[in-house]
Every structure is written in C-alpha cells, then in structure tokens.
Amino acid sequence: MATKLPKVPVVIVGMGWVGGIIAAELSKAGISVVGIERGKSRDTQDYYHVHDELRYAARYELMQDLSKETVAFRNTMKMRALPMRTYGSFLLGDGLGGAGVHWNGQYYRFLPYDFEIYSKTVERYGKKKIPENMTIRDWGITYEQLEPYFVKYEQMAGISGEKEIPSNIGAMSTPFPTGPMKKSPGMKLFENAAKKLGYHPYVIPSANLSEVYKNPDGVERAPCQYCGYCERFGCEYGAKADPVVTVLPVAKNTGKFELRTHSNVTKIIHDGKKATGVTYVHTPTGEEYTQPADVVILAGYLFTNVKLLLTSKLGEPYDPQTEKGSVGRNYAYQVNGASTSAFYEDREFNLAMGAGALGSSIDDFNGDNFDHSDLNFLHGANIRFTQTGLRPIQYQPVPADTPKWGAEFKKATIHNANRVLSVTGQGASMPNRYHYLDLDPEYKDAFGMPLIRMTFDFEDQDRELVKFIAQKTKAIADEMGATKTEIHDSIKQYNIVPYQSTHNTGGTIMGADPKTSVVNNYLQMWDAENVFICGASNFPHNSGYNPTSTVGALAYRTAEGVQKYLDKGGSLV
Amino acid sequence: MANDKPNQPQDESRRRFLKYSGTAIGGVVLGGVIGGLVGANLKDKDKEETPAAPQTATDNKDYNQALMFFNQDQFLTAEAAAERLFPKDDLGPGAKELGVAFFIDHQMASAFGTNSRDYMQPPYYKAEATQGYQLVFKRRELIALGLDALNGYSNTKYKKPFVEIAPEEQDAVLTAFESNDIELKDVPASNFFAMFLNLTLEGVYADPLYGGNKNMAGWKMRNFPGNQMSYTEYIEKEEFVKLEPMSLHDHLELG
C-alpha cells in the first residue's frame, strides 16, 4: 500500500531542463514545488574525471540504465517490435539535469515557418504539395508569441552568439547576452566558402559560455575551455549551461522547492477529468508513495511523458488506422546522413580541441528559405561545420575504400586523424500517419509496466531531403581548399544501431485543435486541465535544428501557464 | 552565493587550477551558485614532486597485467587476433604492445562484459538488421566462445592453433569470421568479429587506466592529447599544435 504524503500545489515529474526551469520559475513566485527525479543527484564535482571517452561516450555513464527500461522498436506496423537492448541511434538521459547534462549546447531557435508549417506550406505551394500521410500541422502558437520565452531561456543560460543574425532566421527582440564562441580555422574555411557561394553563415549560438556571465538570477559561470568533452559528458567547469548549474540551485535557494531523487513515477492518479497526484516508487527501498498535488507537470523525455499518459489511461491513445486519438502521434526524429568530408593532405587541424557547440552554419536550405516548387520534399536542413572535439575511439576517419581493420586501416586512421573536416546537414523530420508511439504488447520494464513501442521509418521525403542537402554540403566543401571531398548522399531504412541523434520528438503534441493534439499552447492538457506536459514531446514535427532552444522556451511558457491556472483555474485558451 | 571579491581567487585549489591550466579566466566564481570547485583535486604541477621510491628491478612490472576472465589460451588468441586488426608498424606499436588483450580481458570481467546495463529480458526473436543486437549471449560469452572458435577453426583448417599459424593465415581466418563465411555451430561469427574489433580499437585508444593504450602510445601515434583541461589558447591557431598527452592518472590527487 502506498504511503500517502501531504498535498502540495505542484508536483513535477522529471528534473531536466523542463522540470528545472518550471521549478525555478514557480518557486521564485512563491509556489511550493516537489520535483521527482528517477535518477541520482549530481553536481560538477562528479566530473573531475569526466575526460574519459570509454566510460562516458562508449559505456554511456550518464545514460538511463537499459536493464531497467528501454523502448521497443519496429520500422513498420507489419513488423514485431523488439527491445532496444543496447544503445545505438539515440541516448536517453537519466539523473538530475537529465539530457540537459549530456547535450552539446547547440542552441537554435526554430524558424517562424516551423510553427505555422501547414498554413505557410499551403499558402505558398497549395494543399497538393503535402504528400499523403504526412501529418504536418500548425503548432497553435506563432514564433512571435514564443519569442519572449526564447529570450528568457537565453538570458538564463547565457547563450553566446553573434550580435547580428542572418535575416533568414527568426528575428530577435533582444540580442544574445554573450558574444560568439572563438573561431577555429575550420570554421573560417566553412564561412568563407559559404559566403563565396552567396550563403549566410553565422557562428552557432552556444550554451557553452564564450565569456564570464552572470545571469538575471545571480548565477555566475566561467567560460568554456574548448576541452573537447561535451556531448555525452558533464561539464566540470559549469561553462556548459545545464539545469544543475543554472535553474535547479535557484529553485533550491527559494526554500520552496523540494527535490526527491531515486524516485520513479509509475502513475498519474486521475478521475478522467483532473489529476489528483502521482504515485512513485523510491527505488533504493522499493517503497511506494502517493504525492497528491493541485497541478501535475510531466517534464520527462518524450518516451516517459507518453508512457505515463498511456499506462495511466489519461487522454486518448492515437490509432493510426482511424487517426483518432492523440497520445503518441507525430513521432519524429532528425534526418541526418547528408554530408561531405573534406580531406587535407597538406595540413592538419587541432580537431581534438573543440566544444559541443563550436561551429558555423547556414540556413539558406533550412525551413522554407528556398523554393520547394520543383523538389520532392518539404523543409530542409541546417548545414554546418562543427568542431566538437574528436576523440579516438569513436572517430576513425578514413576514405570510403579503406579496409575496416589491419595495417592499411591503421595507417589511414592515423594519417587522417586530424585532416578531415566535415560539412553536414541536420535535416528536419516530417511526421507521418504511421510513425507513432504506443505501448508494447510483450516487453515490460523493471516495474512490470509495458515498454514504449516506437514505429518509425525513413520515407521518400527523408531520402529526397538527404540527396538534395548532400549536394549543398559538397558545394561548400569543394570551396574549402581540400585535397579531395567525399559526399554521403543516401539513407535507406531507419536503423536503430548506429548513433544518429538524440533529438526524438512528438507523442504529446501541441496544437489549437483538441482532436489532433494533446496540449494547448500553454502545454496544458486538453483532457485534464490541471495536467501540463512539456518537452520535445510537444513538437508536431522536428525542425532542421537541435531541439533544446524550443524546449526551453516552451518550459517558460508552461511555467507562466501553471501560474495562471493556479490563479484562475479552467482552460487557459 | 555570489562572489563579492571578483578579483580574488576562491581558494587554494582554484589558484592551483589556474596555474595548472594556464588560462586567464580571472577570479570569477566557477559553477555559479554552487561555488568554485573546479580543480580541487587536480595535481599541482608547480609543487615539488614527491621523491620517487627507490628504483628496483620489479618497477618495470605492471601488476595490473594479469587475467580477470580469460583462460591462458583465450588470452593468447585474443592478443594474436587483436595484433592482426591493429598491427605494429613503423608508425608505432600494435595491439599486443599496447596491452589490448588485457584491456579486453578486464572489460569482459566488468559490468560491460555481463551486459548489466543492457535490456536482457526475454523473449528473444530473430530480428531485422535495423533492430540491433538480439542475442541471448552476454558479451563475455560471445567473446570467449568466439576466441575458442578462432582456435577450433585454425586447428581444423591449418592443423595448428590460431597463435601458431602465419599472419596471412590469421588474416584469412579473421576475414572468414568477419564475413560470416563459415558455419560455426556455437558462435555467430560476424557478431563476434564486430564486437572483438570494437573492443580492440577501444583498447588501443581508451585511457591507459583500463589496461590498454599502454603509456598513451595509442594516443601519441595520432597526436591525440588525451585529456587536457583547456585549449582556450590554441583553438584559434592556424597551425597544428602538438601536446604531450595527459591521462586521467595525471589529474588524480594521490593521498
């Protein structure tokens, strides 16, 4: 029997970026918040020995323990889904700070086009442009409406970027609070090549601080040291913005925030109209608790958010056959695979040095910044050169015809270790009627609950996008003065084995229509007014960008929504 | 907990860190409200080295080089096979000299070898290639049986164990395993090969603390600087900067 705890105003499930931001905003406003985190606590002291590629990058030290919980995967509805037994395509965060700890810090606001993708596509090309089964839709919020919340995140995290940004991305009411990252020789080669071709390169906005910064909450952090251990690692300097060094200490200092780690929420308790709290298991003891609350906020990664709704039977599960229901729909990903490698025989670069968000990029072929009339795909990709710090276990650069092992392999990998610059496309992922999340009928997690089942594949849209973007990466790479370039321009089926991206999106999407979305534009659940769900699970599609910027903005929007709800109650829209 | 004396170092450990890293980041609070804590356990390069213990003949022995999991045959087979995958040449040492077989042995004895953080619940079904590893085998079982199979196959084909056949013959055996060109009753040959190749490269390039990459020689061949605290002063440089690599051992404050 679960122990019933005293009621609190707000309980948050998950203590990553979303949970941390909302906890800080609400507790600063004097509202008592309980934050529940299934993993352990963390601080920067844990990272004294973080520069360890084997432990953190190859053995996934910071990631969710898959022996306890994973997802099941199949490409199509005809296949039997099987559990992701080991890590591959994407990595699931765990512990205080969640995926906000192991990110690279690349910070891109989504484009104005993204938020009104359906209307703007129809307006420019007509309805017929949208292929059958592609379920793009407007987000129920515009870029202009979300703009102030982007600013809040940028000021909190100290985002580093150029004062002038290209006109083909969303306008900023307030410039970035800190200047851009330093420019490496590779970035200069990329930018010069892009300019020569008439494109509009800019230094990637970065959550790895470029300079000392004190944020509006009084949190002061030191600059990035370009140490080359960012993605999959925690930052021992606190230079990379993560929830543990920014919002969580602020929440704690209010005295209104209580953090409970090692606590795994297993259920949202509700009567079909409103939630009354959550049930969780304290994992070290196995004891079960019920935490009643006026407002329940789901702030987990998308799989957690979707799973809790489905296992708690809150909201209507999506059915791809009838297209009824919304929980689990519009699962999308990131379409990578378009790239060109530039090999330099005459020089070497300091490629072990870098930062997660060090690089330059263009958006001339992202969103609807170019004419799609004669193209067989929608949206596009951010094209970039990044220098994130290339580590030797996971980076074995060789020309395509090199053997996979032996003397020639050794020679080629050593020769090329510091001689290859890659121009890559980070492609948008359009939703599809048959790409969705539901509960697996067979496999269970450590608590006996079903695993999330993912049904996802690449479509012609994705293959065409990669083919087109790859040509653009080649054109730029060809202008970068390399000895030779090698293009990669095709993707086949989606395969869960090779690492691609931890930018999984959708499942609890936002929108203006309760029939086709789970939450409104305050991230308030249509079917339960005191439940708020926030994260990349809200994205109806994924843009050609890293998602954290938009997740952060939505978290600030949610915090405002929760305050309004606590004041007045009812639906906020 | 804002720092009201921004030009004063927080504490002794921070002062040491700044010296150590050679960066001019001023006296600001690191890590914001959680305070200055970076570098508290960093080795002080400026401090005089503790006098070394008297040299003896045993000092050259690496007592970490012993077996945690393999039997002697498996170890020798692993060593010979890894050497073919990453051979010694004029660029530098191969897998054998780098201690890769010890690395693999130690990994097989670890949580990684027993798949303790992987989802290993049944049922197991035949999978599409896009669905990844779906074998009941734990890594240590696959690697041990695979090494035994390398020997078995060599014995059948060449009448000698794997370690005694010629390098070209060893390559032919490895290629047969890689391409699944053989029928083995007990072992999925290409799965074994892929995992063994991966382990070999990890053993060449992981921090020396894990038993491979001996004396950081794997890193030195690639001019990989290991784990330095800061590259702020180099990141904009046009020319290639060669740095003596550092390992995690260099960052540990020993009691």
Look at residue B246 and give its three-state secondary structure: strand
Write down the catalytic residue from A270, A488, A503, A541.
A503
Token pair in block for residue A437: 């999340």
The minimum CA-CA distance between A4 and chain B, rounded to whole Å, is 32
ipTM exceeding 0.85, yes/no: yes
A202-230: pLDDT as tens digits = 999 999 999 999 999 999 999 999 999 99
Residue B36: its pLDDT value, please? 34
Close Cβ partners of A14 (under 8 Å, ≥ 6 residues apart): A36, A37, A38, A98, A298, A299, A300, A301, A304
Residue B185: its pLDDT value, please? 79
Residue A357: its pLDDT value, please? 98
Domain-located, residue B30: no
Which CATH code for domain A3-568?
3.50.50.60
Pairing mode, if any, of strands A484-488 and A213-214? unpaired
Domain-located, residue B242: no
The minimum CA-CA distance between A177 and chain B, rounded to whole Å, is 16
Contact assessment for residue A246 and residue A290, using Cβ atoms and an 8 Å cutoff: no
Residue B30: its pLDDT value, please? 38
Residue B19: its pLDDT value, please? 37
Hey, are the CB atoms on B221 and A65 less than 8 Å from each other? no
Domain-located, residue B102: yes
Residue B16: its pLDDT value, please? 38
Residue A331: its pLDDT value, please? 98
Residue B58: its pLDDT value, please? 55
Hey, are the CB atoms on B232 and A226 less than 8 Å from each other? yes
Hey, are the CB atoms on B205 and A407 less than 8 Å from each other? no
Q: What is the 3-state secondary structure (H, E, C) of A274-327?
A: CEEEEEEEECCCCEEEEEEEEEEEECCCHHHHHHHHHHCCCCCECECCCCECCE
Close Cβ partners of A487 (under 8 Å, ≥ 6 residues apart): A339, A340, A470, A471, A473, A474
Report how far apart, in Å, the C-alpha atoms of A171 and of each of A191, A216, A255 are.
21, 22, 37
Q: Residues of chain A whose pLDDT is less than 70?
A: none
Report how far apart, in Å, the C-alpha atoms of A415 and of each of A344, A418, B17, B87 are.
10, 8, 34, 15
Residue B184: its pLDDT value, please? 81
Residues of B in contact with A414 (CB under 8 A): 91, 221-222
Token pair in block for residue A329: 């729909």
Domain-located, residue B183: yes
User: Which of A27, A46, A47, A51 is most worth mutating to test chain B (most B CB atoms within 10 A of its CB)?
Assistant: A51
Q: How many residues does chain B have?
A: 255
Amino acid at A431: P
Hey, are the CB atoms on A349 and B240 less than 8 Å from each other? yes
Q: Which of A293, A395, A220 is nearest to A36 (CA)?
A: A293
| CA separation for the pair A386, A476 (Å, rounded) | 14
Domain hosting residue B164, numbered range: 72-221
Hey, are the CB atoms on A414 and B206 less than 8 Å from each other? no
Contact assessment for residue B80 and residue B170, using Cβ atoms and an 8 Å cutoff: yes
Amino acid at A66: L
- Out of A53, A69, A85, the one facing B120 most closely (by C-beta) is A85
Residue A438: its pLDDT value, please? 98
Domain-located, residue B39: no
Residue A49 bears catalytic tag: no
Residue B254: its pLDDT value, please? 79
Strand order in the sheet with A359-362: A202-203, A359-362, A381-386, A420-427, A339-343, A484-488
Residue B253: its pLDDT value, please? 80
What total of structural domains would you count in chain B? 1
Torsion sign (Cα): B76, B81, B86, B88: positive
Residue B7: its pLDDT value, please? 36
The minimum CA-CA distance between A255 and chain B, rounded to whole Å, is 15
Residue A374: its pLDDT value, please? 98
Residue B43: its pLDDT value, please? 41
Token pair in block for residue A410: 């050794």
Token pair in block for residue B229: 């605290």
Q: Residues of chain B whose pLDDT is less than 70?
A: 1-59
